[in-house]
Amino acid sequence: MKCRSLLPVNAASTSSAGDRLRAALGVLEPVLDIVNARVEQAAPPAWCERRGWAEFLLSLSDAVLFACEAHGLELGLRGVTNAPRELLALAESVRVATTLPRLRARAVELPQAALLGVSARKREQLGAVLALASPLAAQAARVVDVGAGSGHLARLCAEFFQRETLALELKRSVTASFPSGSITAQEAIDGEPLTLGLLPV
């Protein structure tokens, strides 16, 4: 297994968005069998056996598993001397491909009426994301929210930026989260993602 087109560690601040997306795709493509196969049984999945990782992964202690979940695979396996080289390489590649620059912006004050049913923590996150996205949205004709979840961010983008906003979400239940009449929905067909189009309000 080889991960293609990796960027240097400081790529988050020096490369274009296109370069970073291509690098992420280079990491993802060789391991699509892992991504697409849910582990639902006690027996090691086929992708794990093929790579010879099963014995190692089954031997990990609870403490190491907790560290991997809390800090990521690369840091979690630090100091584990018998970790498979390919697994370590994948962990490093994922970190490099997904590292983002730290951005600072003052959170946008959002109207209370737009935040009904939104947790306090989520409200803070939404305000920060909107503030960071504001310069980009000012130059955009349309906003696309991939993995829109309940649609809070997409709905606020449509209102706050006054831009056509497209929310993409796999779960059909997301339709219940939008006020009646505010969206047009195309039902998922043959497993394709549910697409929700929001127009400026």
The answer to whether residue 103 sits within a structural domain is no
pLDDT in tens, 140-176: 888 888 888 888 888 888 888 888 888 887 765 443 3
Q: How far apart are CA 140 and CA 163, in angstroms?
A: 8
On the CB side of 58, how many CA atoms lie within 13 Å of its CA? 10
Rounded-to-integer distance, Cα 30 and Cα 2, Å: 7
pTM of the model: 0.56
Domain boundary, last residue among 48, 68, 98: 98
- 93 with 169, same domain: the answer is no
Residue ranges making up the domain that contains 120: 112-198
Same domain, 55 and 26: yes
pLDDT in tens, 105-136: 777 777 777 777 788 788 888 888 899 889 88
- Identify whether 5 is part of a domain: no
